[in-house]
Structure 1
Amino acid sequence: METRRRFPPPSCTSPSPASTLRSLPAAPRSSGDRIQASDALPIPIRHTNLLFSLLFVCSIVFLMRRWRDKVRESIPLHAVDLSELVSIISVVASLIYLISFFGIAIVQSIVSSHEDEVDDFLPDSKMTPSPAPSSDLAMPMLAGREDEDIIAAVVAGKTPSYALESAIGDCHRAAEIRREAIRRISGRGLDGLPLEGFDYGSILGQCCEMPVGYVQLPVGIAGPLILDGREHYLPMATTEGCLVASTNRGCKAIAESGGAASVVLRDAMTRAPVVRFLTAARAAELKFFLEEPTNFDNLSVIFNRSSRFARLQDIQCALVGRNLYMRFCCTTGDAMGMNMVSKGVQNVLDYIQNDFPDMDVISLSGNFCSDKKPSAVNWILGRGKSVVCEAVIKEEVVKKVLKTSVSALVEVNTIKNLAGSAIAGALGGFNAHASNIVSAIFIATGQDPAQNVESSHCITMMEAVNDGKDLHISVTMPSIEVGTVGGGTQLASQSACLDLLGVKGACMESPGANARLLATIVAGAVLAGELSLMSALAAGQLVKSHMKYNRSCKDTSKAASN
């Protein structure tokens, strides 16, 4: 696909002589005028390589012959004469050169190709170079200026707020200056928003732009959750009272009943571009092309080049008029994988453009993915990790810990989670509060909170088993989108929570294992949360519990006095 490069129009402001000198680019160099890495050598690189290669071979041959004669004549090998000493030194010197410097030509080719790439983004040499804006020329000088001067420049619009980090070279100072500028512009302070105690350099260029502080959010621990024979303590970042306590009660009930079990049904992140043709028939040709098994093998090779972890699984197509939606599904290792799959899709689009030059790419994402939106396609086909988690809760535990009965739980689940959600027209919302637990763990572990939308798709099932004495509970979650590398997972606090769960970073032995384990933990936590809340509803304790844990005694006394 053609890439269009746009260059800034010539500036209408006449630059000063000094700024003109700074803004003028160097004269274009031909390929023969470029600085070569081999220029540091006294003779051309090819002659130098040949010289040391011959020296190495000749010295080795000489030494082997001399040592052979010494062995035959029973002369000690350590008795070295001048010629042998010179040969040994020659071998060592030539070997050092061949190991360390023989790749100069390769280095030079990389340097040359880099210069070619830079040249591709520069205007044609015949174009008149336009001077850089005066504000950009002043950027490197901001580091030495007083804070008050920079704040005034930001308020006046002379210095863009988004460029403070690169202009000053100090991320914390940039946040402080931006914060004060916002206060002066808006007339409202940010006194309650903390500034100190955060590493702003850790979010530069990856997590948040133009920071002015950070929000404090408490993290509670529920558990242990016994899942697949292992203990997990669940970090939950939330401001909703009773949520951690309720999940903790569910974990206790599961633990006293022998624990829960989980299965990852599928692992596939998706991206669905939309393309358009002149006719629907032509769009159908591409659909049939993509669905042909032999073509899929070739497309997999093209797609998988984007990353050593990306592996294309299938392509699902949907045709709407002359528009074709292609849903690419692939594994992404321990990363959540949106960027990875997007790069792979771009590679495939570039490839099939050769066979379908009349294809017009409308958008890399056509909402058939579907990302950060409730959708039937995710509910039915899944996205990210599809997980089912189950447990059998003993009758005595239901009565002792959950304060209710098996029959009451089954009845409430059927009438509320199944029938109630059905008449509400719920899409993936056949549960009590899966989103509560998913959001809390997502925020604590550095996941994308917006993906809570599809990650909270869940259906909770409850049945009486073992002659009606025990309770079988399960949660089926088809689209849990999590990762243990990239994004917010690398921040200190979130990384600590991942470490608590034992899924920090990438799994070297089995790529993707940490992300899959995190998905099962999320499902297990949802299982615990569903069990506890449904028990509170069945026992009529919901309001009592929230008044106890969601309202402190101090607040209650104030409310009574008022």
Structure 2
Amino acid sequence: MSDARSSRIEGLHKMAPEARLQAVARQAGLGNAAIASLSAAAQGQIELADRLVENAISAMSIPVGIATNMLVDGHEVLVPMATEESSVIAAVCNAAKRCRPTGGFFTSSSGPVMAAQIQLLGASDPENVRLKVYERMDKIRAICDETDPLLVKFGGGFRDLDIRVIETDEGPMTIVHIIVDTRDAMGANAVNSMAEALAPRLVEWTGARSLLRILTNLADRRVVRARAVWPLAEIGGEQVRDDMLSAYRFADADPYRAATHNKGIMNGVSAVVLATGNDTRAIEAGAHAFAAKDGHYRSMSRWEADGDGNLVGILEMPMAVGLIGGATKVHPTAQANLEILGVKTADALARIIVSIGLAQNFAAMRALATTGIQKGHMALHAQNVALAIGAVGAEIDQVANELKALGKVRQDLAEEILARLRAGK
């Protein structure tokens, strides 16, 4: 880069957010409009932002919409979704409405169980090390539970060990998984603290060297399953059903298709995770790793026809979300969204999230198997394009409607339409 700007701003972290913004603006050569936009975006949120992240200068708002028609385990649920992508929420509403005649979504869960890994190195007898650790199960339980007595008080705590010897380029490693019931917390802090407390004792007992002590986001003991049945009449008939099943089989066999197929599922999942202040990156990492657990990357969902010819969808995935701790507990918008959901436990939230992912998947596959993905998506995207080229007020709908009528949602066409509208005034 030939840019003469420096990324060094001495003492930036010590400044108040407003002074920090001005320092960044000087360094980056920002104009007044950009400074005003960053300042306005943070109104009422900058103090919280400054506590949540380092070197905060502003906040960035993501639209929150409501998915309707959701019936989960017999309960009517309004679901807040935070997303910037057009058609995602509308697709969920439509998909949820179409499976209401058969009872909506039915779920099951393996419970709020997380794992942390302790890496043991340098042992010439890794299998012997593995057994030495298992032999001290009661001591390990006591160490872990003493680390977080509050978790134990609420019914959580250490549950089990899972110890593996893995082969690597530097030889075998013994990997100790501590399995912990984290109740209504996502659990990262709890299991990490337990792993760090336990590691020195494992070194003492085994003679191995402890290195990494960290949770795994492949939360395959914290799995939630959602199931729904869509009647043929709600799908569009046997041909549409069969074409949707072919689309699923394509995704299940081909990682290039699976990547986009699963991205569609995560459009729904991540939107609810974000709206409730949970960790989108952790959920996404765990979900995609789970999709590759059999040795190749495949569809997260499963689809089939039942004995009556109806379409059955199943989504099974890790869902490590919480109601306490982190942004979930301190962000007022996340708290309000949880109030809309009306959930009292992390497990109930997880079941709703996976149901949303299944609804999103149905909607995307049905669109692909019938009109194509662009028709519905671009109808909503037309307004975004109108906004992007500077349309305001009534101009936004006028430009968007003309683009939809043309069947082409392109920025150059939008600019021509807007110029013509303004010239005619």
| Residue equivalent to 1:182 | 24
1:446 aligns with 2:270: no
1:416, CA displacement in angstroms?
Answer: 3.0
Label 1:425 to 1:328 Cα distance change in 2 as closer, same or farther (>3 A): farther
| Residue equivalent to 2:80 | 235
CA-to-aligned-CA distance 1:342-388 (integer Å, 9 cap, x gap): 111122213333323x33222213xxx533xxxxxx3xx715x3011
| Residue equivalent to 1:81 | none
1:204, CA displacement in angstroms?
Answer: 4.9
Which residue of the other structure, out of 82, 105, 129, is the alignment partner of 1:286? 129
1:327 aligns with 2:177: yes
| Residue equivalent to 1:533 | 364
1:550, CA displacement in angstroms?
Answer: 1.7
Q: Which amino acid in structure 1 is aligned with residue 164 of structure 2?
A: A
CA-to-aligned-CA distance 1:441-484 (integer Å, 9 cap, x gap): 1211111121222246563222222432x22221111x112111
| Residue equivalent to 1:212 | 57
1:184, CA displacement in angstroms?
Answer: 1.0
* 2:112 partner SS: strand
Determine if contact 1:407/1:464 at 8 Å carries over to the other structure: no
| Residue equivalent to 2:312 | 472
Label 1:532 to 1:433 Cα distance change in 2 as closer, same or farther (>3 A): same
Higher strand share: 2
| Residue equivalent to 1:388 | 225
Q: Sequence identity, in percent? A: 23
Which residue of the other structure, out of 361, 364, 369, is the alignment partner of 2:213? 364
TM-score, normalised with respect to structure 2: 0.78
CA-to-aligned-CA distance 1:380-432 (integer Å, 9 cap, x gap): x715x30111122222222xxxxx2245334433x333343423278898747
Aligned runs of 1:146-545 on 2, under 5 Å? Answer: 157=10, 160-164=11-15, 174-189=16-31, 190-191=34-35, 192-193=37-38, 194-205=40-51, 207-277=52-122, 279-281=123-125, 283-292=126-135, 295-307=136-148, 308-309=150-151, 310-319=156-165, 320=167, 321-356=171-206, 358-365=207-214, 370-371=216-217, 378=218, 382-383=220-221, 385-398=222-235, 404-413=236-245, 415-424=246-255, 431=262, 433-451=264-282, 452-455=284-287, 457=291, 459-468=300-309, 470-477=310-317, 479-489=318-328, 490-503=330-343, 514-545=345-376
| Residue equivalent to 2:419 | none
Determine if contact 2:72/2:104 at 8 Å carries over to the other structure: yes
Determine if contact 2:42/2:60 at 8 Å carries over to the other structure: no
1:532, CA displacement in angstroms?
Answer: 1.4
Q: Which amino acid in structure 2 is aligned with residue 290 of structure 1?
A: V
1:284, CA displacement in angstroms?
Answer: 2.7
* Structure-2 separation of matches of 1:429 and 1:311: 38
Q: Which amino acid in structure 2 is aligned with residue 179 of structure 1?
A: L
Label 1:424 to 1:305 Cα distance change in 2 as closer, same or farther (>3 A): same
* Structure-2 separation of matches of 1:215 and 1:273: 37
Determine if contact 2:41/2:58 at 8 Å carries over to the other structure: yes
CA-to-aligned-CA distance 1:70-114 (integer Å, 9 cap, x gap): xxxxxxxxxxxxxxxxxxxxxxxxxxxxxxxxxxxxxxxxxxxxx
* Structure-1 separation of matches of 2:286 and 2:311: 28
* Structure-2 separation of matches of 1:427 and 1:243: 18
* Structure-2 separation of matches of 1:438 and 1:343: 28
Alpha carbon RMSD of aligned pairs, Å?
Answer: 2.6
Label 1:481 to 1:412 Cα distance change in 2 as closer, same or farther (>3 A): same
* Structure-1 separation of matches of 2:80 and 2:306: 32
Determine if contact 2:133/2:202 at 8 Å carries over to the other structure: no
1:318, CA displacement in angstroms?
Answer: 2.5
Q: Highest Rg: 1 or 2? A: 1
Q: Which amino acid in structure 1 is aligned with residue 336 of structure 2?
A: A
Gaps of 5+ in 1: 1-153, 165-173, 372-377, 399-403, 508-513
* Structure-2 separation of matches of 1:390 and 1:197: 42
Q: Which amino acid in structure 2 is aligned with residue 235 of structure 1?
A: P
* 1:550 partner SS: helix
CA-to-aligned-CA distance 1:157-209 (integer Å, 9 cap, x gap): 3xx12123xxxxxxxxx11110001111222254332354234443555x211
Q: How many residues are matched? A: 363
Which residue of the other structure, out of 382, 388, 393, is the alignment partner of 1:551? 382
* Structure-2 separation of matches of 1:549 and 1:429: 20
Which fold has the larger relative contact order, with Cα–Cα distance below 8 Å and residues 6 or more apart in sequence?
Answer: 2
Label 1:430 to 1:266 Cα distance change in 2 as closer, same or farther (>3 A): farther
Label 1:501 to 1:539 Cα distance change in 2 as closer, same or farther (>3 A): same
* 2:110 partner SS: strand
Determine if contact 2:41/2:61 at 8 Å carries over to the other structure: no
Label 1:430 to 1:188 Cα distance change in 2 as closer, same or farther (>3 A): closer
Determine if contact 1:432/1:530 at 8 Å carries over to the other structure: no
Label 1:538 to 1:195 Cα distance change in 2 as closer, same or farther (>3 A): closer
* Structure-2 separation of matches of 1:274 and 1:445: 33
Label 1:186 to 1:464 Cα distance change in 2 as closer, same or farther (>3 A): same
Label 1:539 to 1:442 Cα distance change in 2 as closer, same or farther (>3 A): same
* Structure-2 separation of matches of 1:185 and 1:236: 36
| Segments ≥4 residues shifted beyond 6 Å | 425-430
TM-score, normalised with respect to structure 1: 0.60
Determine if contact 2:119/2:176 at 8 Å carries over to the other structure: yes
Label 1:227 to 1:341 Cα distance change in 2 as closer, same or farther (>3 A): same
* 1:524 partner SS: helix
